Chain A
Amino acid sequence: MKIIIIEDEPELAKSIADYLASENYLCEFATSFHEALEKVTTYEYNCILLDLMLPGGDGMSILEELKKQNKQDGVIIISAKNALDDKIKGLHLGADDYLAKPFHLSELAARIYSVIRRRQFANANIIQQNELQIDLLAKTLLIHNTPVVLTKKEFGLLLFFMGNKNRVISKNALAEHLSGDLADMLDNHDFVYAHIKNLKKKLTEAGCENYLKTVYGTGYKWEND
């Protein structure tokens, strides 16, 4: 999988690349508008991470160029602006997702995972992992070919773990994933624990192996080789 990180802040780009490296992603970098434009128009990427404020130009123009050339790369905008206008405009220009800075790397990884899967398996998007079978379009889960009913939040959590296999995810990241902007106002992240507990219980009851591990009581990890 090839990913290009278009970001002028080297430390942030490096963090992203480090985090994604373990997941068989091959990361390239572009730190300026022109470098980015040259690379994305020349090569194919599975996913483009695009910062809108770049030295030399506006990231939106890159989106416009991609659209003009009818390129099928997945695009996730990562912006410090969090402006609704940008979000709407970006999605309209063909971006797949929009993530405002600061974000958790796990959140980014989950979104990249989702974008790439959507691009690759447009018609039959099914994740198979041992006894688990997740249908992303129908939003259903089969364990040992038996349907398991999950709530919307539990399903969301499961997908989040799929995108962050073998990595420790902080409770904060999960809380933000579950409640979006509202997580800002919640001081108590115990609700995360409740959802995790329920998910775990359902998985175990359906005969699923225990992949979901608690790490030092502060985070969670989906272990699967």
Chain B
Amino acid sequence: MAQATETTSKRRGKGKEPPIARDDLLKAYRDMLLIRRFEEKAGQLYGMGLIGGFCHLYIGQEAVVVGVQMCLKSGDEVITSYRDHGHMLATGMEARGVMAELTGRIGGYSKGKGGSMHMFSREKGFYGGHGIVGAQVSLGTGLAFANWYREDGAIAVTYFGEGASNQGQVYESMNLAALFKLPCIYVIENNKYGMGTSVERASASRDLSQNGAAWGIPGEQVNGMDVVAVREAAERAAAYCRANKGPYLLEMKTYRYRGHSMSDPAKYRTREEVQKMRETSDCIETARKLLVDQFAATEAELKVIDDDVKAIVQDAADFAQQSPEPPESELWTDVLVETK
């Protein structure tokens, strides 16, 4: 039942049918670029003191959420950890509202009361944004439980890092999901480091895609730096879940270029290691090359996308600084839902 195949676009030789339609790849390129530029801008605003507290950037990992999101339908749910800005943008949440939450303003998705790690959009099926490592895995299993309970055909995608994958509640949740056959895709974003601890020093398992094997949950290792490979694997996972066969596990081998959070000097890895990943495996460069080589995309065509993305991010940054701080009356709202 369990498979351990690493899928990668490298196996695609020249002359074969492209594994993705041109428009889909263009959209993936744009979505990944939006996340990249957004995160760079967030890092910059952080440096200027406009964003406080914790700020975990997604730079490097963009292909994961963009590739998976391409397989989701309206009504499906997404939940993730605190490295969540990319997931919000991928689900279609407005860059303005996300950035304004980062600056703690009333125009933010949580009116400035949640911050970087706590944003939600029921409309877009995004259920956070959770700050406790591993907690979102049980919650995401609950989203899938709700789909099972309602028999609405929707599936839930639960993202977590390889660091969280060692949490006890992850295994409790996988058991529950397998037991009740819940439509849940567990996506482990293995970016190799749980804060400063490499996966080799934290996990006795070398193949995290098999972490659900005890409960018969099928798993795949996927090249998470390749949006096409991610999408292919996510298609298989989504089809499995939609067929009411139960949960599915994807281990995305990915990499974060920045530190764990803004205040992480990242001394646990060499500069050369980071540079090598950026130069040889960058998801945006890979997609760009594919667009140019196989789909005859022109520089002018791609520049329109680049400029469009830059404008969205600049607009979000401006909005995030112009939106006022929440009024003091907001201190006492939303503690409880008011009842008669």
Whether chains A and B associate is no
Residues of A within 8 A of B (CB): none
